[in-house]
Structure 1
Amino acid sequence: MPVQIASSVVLHLSTLPVIFCIFPLQTGNFFGEVEGAVMNKLLTMGSFKRITLYDYQAMCRTNKESSDSAHSLLDPYNAFFAAVKWIMTELVLFLVEFNLCSWWHSDLTAKAQRLKQTLEPCDTEYPAFVSERTIKETTGSIACDDCFKSFVIQQIPSSNLFMVVVDNECFCDSVPPITMAPIEIRYNESLKCERLKSQKIRRRPESCHGFHPEENARECGGVPGLSAKPPFVLLPLLLTIFSR
């Protein structure tokens, strides 16, 4: 009877990264990227709820386009002047390069310029997953192409961790992984001005509150009320007089 192998992983509640796994290369990755089918099943069963978060201070990579102008319209006159210009250019280059220096510096090719990528402010959205704390333990199975993938998820007491045991013999390659990669939000060009107007400047508070009634604040210490006692002041004076 063959022994069925199962992979055990431990998930953190905040972002569901794999903390411990029998495959070291999968440790630290998002659980949805490692087991997309199981994560999708947990969302369907209600063990986790997917929410969308927005990042209004993100930086996106954009390809800087070339600023070269377009070619002028071709006509017979332009073709004639272009031919004359090419002949004169080749003649001048021939006279310039006909020297001893060109014997050692014959490489006149230019390197291809890479497309520059710059970072620009943008808005992005990315998914997050919230667990249902009422569910302590859940089991399930997934119908894959030619097998059934079973799993068990259990909440670890006194922690925000989950232990997930997944069948390692069945692979659900048909189910795409679930990633947390941010997606850039593309706004309509006509709505950019309206969006900037909606972002109002933060208003300052109308009054200042130095304390709260429920804090039960009271003055402590007593540094301003320090005073010297008369015996301690007269004692050094008497010692000075009698020492003479």
Structure 2
Amino acid sequence: MRLEFLQRTFWAATRQSLDCFVIDNNGFILISERSQEMGRFLGEVDGALMTQLLSMGVFSQVTMYDYQAMCKPSNHHHSAARPLVSPISALLTATRWLVNELLLLLLEWSAWGSWRADSKAEAKAVFHQSHKHKKQDMLQPCDTQYPVFVHQTAIQETNGAIECGACQKIFVMQQIPSSNLLLLVTDPTCDCSIFPLILQEATEVKYNASVKCDRMRSQKLRRRPDSCHAFHPEENAQDCGGTSDLSASLPMLLLPLCAWVLPPQLLR
């Protein structure tokens, strides 16, 4: 089916005060009258319509697993007491605080003397924001599960009415020939906000102790190579370890010192 025909169909449906969608076989909106809805899942836009399609068997829900996900660590402790802090941990915390304060001091009292007050405030705010962002983004590996919806190809067309309290929302679904796309036409005058939205949010999978042990046993270990390949006939062994011959350049070492000592007016 050509794009021009789809556009003519959409414009004709718009003049008739109908709501039209073209979705793929996983329920994602490809064409809509509202551009902000394109690319989103149908259940996030119209929960009533997606719920009805699921109940009629047009779509089926499949649970998918992500074994390489990252989740936020839980702050739950088995005891209400604060965990003990070792002296090394306290020393590292103090060192980290001291380094942060030194960086802020360099930002505020730069040797160049050309920064304005607003630039220093902006740099300080950016530093604090990035430091806070790093604290919030501490994640750990985990397994997650999320729902995926698949169209049942046996149902190529259907229609129905959704009971939304005081009104009914009528819809028609037709599969577009020679494609995995579906055309949905609904009545936008009926408010079906009583139906919850269907989201595809990933949730962390919690394993008990026995399941964790079974998963560790089922994971295959990486096999070591049968032999060690530490030499190649086309490799020149004299080229290895040549970094020890490198030496620091004295002018390059003195350049930052000169820039620090010279007045800022001479560097402008």
One-letter amino acid of the structure 2 residue matched with residue 59 of structure 1:
M
Distance change >3 Å, CA 190–CA 170, structure 1 → 2: same
Distance change >3 Å, CA 203–CA 156, structure 1 → 2: farther
Partner of 2:31: 20
Q: Distance in 1 between matches of 2:182 and 2:222?
A: 40
Distance change >3 Å, CA 51–CA 202, structure 1 → 2: farther
Q: 2:143 aligns with which of 108, 123, 146?
A: 123
Shift of 1:189: 4.3
| Unpaired segments ≥5 residues, structure 2 | 1-14, 85-127, 225-268
SS in 1 for 2:73: strand
Partner of 1:150: 170
Partner of 2:20: 8
One-letter amino acid of the structure 1 residue matched with residue 65 of structure 2:
Y
Partner of 1:136: 156
Partner of 1:219: none
Partner of 1:216: none
Shift of 1:190: 5.3
Q: Distance in 1 between matches of 2:196 and 2:164?
A: 12
1:169 and 2:169 are equivalent in the alignment: no
Shift of 1:5: 2.2
1:160 and 2:180 are equivalent in the alignment: yes
Using the TM superposition, name which of 139-148 and 15-24 deviates more: 15-24
Partner of 2:228: none
Would the aligned equivalents of 1:148 and 1:170 in 2 still touch at CA under 8 Å? yes
Q: 2:204 aligns with which of 170, 184, 189?
A: 184
Shift of 1:4: 6.5
Between structures 1 and 2, the one with greater helix share: 2
Q: Distance in 1 between matches of 2:16 and 2:168?
A: 13
Q: Distance in 2 between matches of 1:145 and 1:119?
A: 44
Would the aligned equivalents of 2:27 and 2:150 in 1 still touch at CA under 8 Å? no
Shift of 1:170: 1.0
TM-score by length of 2: 0.53
One-letter amino acid of the structure 2 residue matched with residue 52 of structure 1:
T
Post-superposition Cα deviations, 1:134-191, rounded to whole Å, max 9, x if no partner, equal 2121001100021101111100001110011111111211111111111111112454
Would the aligned equivalents of 2:72 and 2:139 in 1 still touch at CA under 8 Å? yes
Q: Distance in 2 between matches of 1:70 and 1:50?
A: 44
Would the aligned equivalents of 2:144 and 2:204 in 1 still touch at CA under 8 Å? yes
Shift of 1:128: 1.1
Q: Distance in 2 between matches of 1:190 and 1:136?
A: 45
Between structures 1 and 2, the one with greater strand share: 1
Q: Distance in 2 between matches of 1:29 and 1:124?
A: 21
Structure having the higher Rg? 1
User: What is the aligned-residue identity percentage?
Assistant: 43
Q: Distance in 2 between matches of 1:183 and 1:129?
A: 16
One-letter amino acid of the structure 1 residue matched with residue 51 of structure 2:
N
Shift of 1:117: 3.1
Q: Report the count of equivalent residues.
A: 161
| Unpaired segments ≥5 residues, structure 1 | 73-110, 205-244
Post-superposition Cα deviations, 1:94-117, rounded to whole Å, max 9, x if no partner, equal xxxxxxxxxxxxxxxxx8995633
Q: Distance in 1 between matches of 2:34 and 2:73?
A: 36
Shift of 1:33: 0.7
TM-score by length of 1: 0.58
Partner of 2:54: 43
Q: 2:221 aligns with which of 201, 222, 235?
A: 201
Once the two structures are superposed, the pairs formed by residues 82-97 of structure 1 within 5 Å of their partners are none
Partner of 1:56: 67
Distance change >3 Å, CA 10–CA 71, structure 1 → 2: closer
Tell me how large the CA RMSD over aligned residues is.
Answer: 3.1
Shift of 1:123: 0.6
Shift of 1:194: 3.1
